[in-house]
Amino acid sequence: MDATSQTAVARQRRLVLVIAVLAVIPSLCEGYAVIWGEAQGFTGRALRDGLDFWAGGFLALHHRLAMLFDPVAYQAFLAGTYGRLPPHMWSYPPNYLLLAAGFDWLSPWHAVLSFEAVSLTLLVVMLRLAKQPWLLILAVAASPVALENILEGQNAALLTALIGGGLLLVASRPRLAGVLIGLASVKPQLGLVLPFYLWRRSRPGFACAVLAALLLAAASLAALGAGAWAEFWQVTRPAMNNVLLTGRPAAFAGGLISVFAACRRLGVPSALTLQAVASTAAILLAARSKDPAVLLILSALACPYLHDYDLLGVTLATALLVRDRFTRGFASGEPILFAAAWAGPGAMPWLPQIAHFTPLILLLLLASAVRRDRLPACDSTTAQPFLPVSSAGP
């Protein structure tokens, strides 16, 4: 790479750094609001989704699972502890309760923050194990969506460590990759594209993923009993389907950013059809892909129940694409696309209208990710049309 190219890359890196710093400002402001709410005594509201993480584990530890799967009793339990709150409901399979119970002997805030710290550490370890550079790892860990995940008390860092780490390790450590992806079954809607991909790319990885998922389910069955799975199937699953189809309560459905959510104004049948087309196409494309960035984007496109914090995997994909473009060069419009994908999740709480454009951004990112394998590297010996060529080469 000549001096001019090095200068251009250095300029691009400085621009990326500026965008990364500016992008976290909305999330920092939101963090201040959460801290203010806690200081004013609004602990239940300040904990947000972390309240469900704590309550699920607490009720499991104290053998009160019947309350967890009764929406009225569950809301009354939370209200009795924290006063009037927005609607809450337990929305995960019982295997997730094993994870929550591991932290919920602590107080609510300590449980949630400890879980987030462990999840973020696991993400850093998995990315480093996959030989990703420290700058990329730190950028992802400090991205707007990573901050949103912490503020929401959600599990995106854990799921990105399992799915993103697994995808990056398939080639070098297929069995470990399979175990990681299998453990991601605690949130199965994010893994719709992964089974056929693993089956085609690594049969040992596929077998380990199936085994890990089955063992985790068996452990939850042994610890919590068959009743927990029966209640999940009879109560939680229909309730979450109802949220998706009716849009109620708004506190749950209002934050959805999937293809289904973007198309819901066309009517539920049309939105379901379009989501089914998107999910099927994503699964078929994933089965033929070898690129972790492509798989991470397809995972988001295939998921009908997608929130802003679930885009941490897409942020990882964006970081991989940006790193690749420093070597291969940016196409027209890609810097704007990457900036929008990076900053969007942090801006959504302030500008909810951005959510409607998320599927379009994901499709454009997918086109960019698919394109990257066809780009020649900057240090290629092939002569470029716009460079003078001498007998010594470009």
DSSP label of 393: B
Region 48-65: mean pLDDT is 92
DSSP label of 246: H
pLDDT at residue 390 in the model: 33
Cα(181)–Cα(198) distance, rounded to whole angstroms?
Answer: 9
The string of DSSP codes covering 274-317 is: HHHHHHHHHHHHHHH---HHHHHHHHHHH-SS--GGGGHHHHHH
pLDDT band at 255 (very low <50, low <70, confident <90, very high): confident
pLDDT at residue 372 in the model: 60
Contact 196, 289 (CB under 8 A): no
pLDDT at residue 377 in the model: 44
Cα(147)–Cα(25) distance, rounded to whole angstroms?
Answer: 10
DSSP label of 373: G
Inter-CA distances, 130 with 64, 171, 173, 263, 338, Å: 41, 10, 9, 37, 22
DSSP label of 187: S
Residue 37 CB neighbour total at 10 angstroms: 16
The one-letter amino acid at 302: A
pLDDT band at 181 (very low <50, low <70, confident <90, very high): very high
Cα(376)–Cα(333) distance, rounded to whole angstroms?
Answer: 18
pLDDT band at 394 (very low <50, low <70, confident <90, very high): very low
Q: Check pLDDT > 90 for residue 385.
A: no
When the pLDDT of each residue in the chain is averaged and rounded to a whole number, the result is 89
pLDDT at residue 16 in the model: 78
Q: Say which residue the tokens 């809301």 belong to.
A: 75
Identify the weakest region by mean pLDDT among 41-50, 93-102, 251-260, 264-273. 251-260
What digits encode the pLDDT tens for the residues 328-347?
888 889 999 999 999 999 99
Region 309-324: mean pLDDT is 96
Cα(167)–Cα(214) distance, rounded to whole angstroms?
Answer: 20
Region 170-177: mean pLDDT is 96
Inter-CA distances, 393 with 2, 30, 41, 342, Å: 13, 54, 69, 38
User: Which pTM was predicted?
Assistant: 0.90
Q: What are phi and psi of 393, to 5 degrees?
A: 110, -175
Burial 178-207 (b: 16+ CB within 10 A, else e): bbbbbbbbbbeebbbbbbbbbeebbeebbb
Q: Quote the percentage of the chain above a pLDDT of 90.
A: 68
pLDDT at residue 389 in the model: 36
pLDDT at residue 93 in the model: 93
Q: Check pLDDT > 70 for residue 274.
A: yes
pLDDT band at 327 (very low <50, low <70, confident <90, very high): confident
pLDDT band at 83 (very low <50, low <70, confident <90, very high): confident
Residue 255 CB neighbour total at 10 angstroms: 17
pLDDT band at 1 (very low <50, low <70, confident <90, very high): low
Contact 209, 182 (CB under 8 A): yes
What digits encode the pLDDT tens for the residues 18-45?
888 888 899 999 999 899 988 888 888 8
Q: Tokens for 217?
A: 């389910």
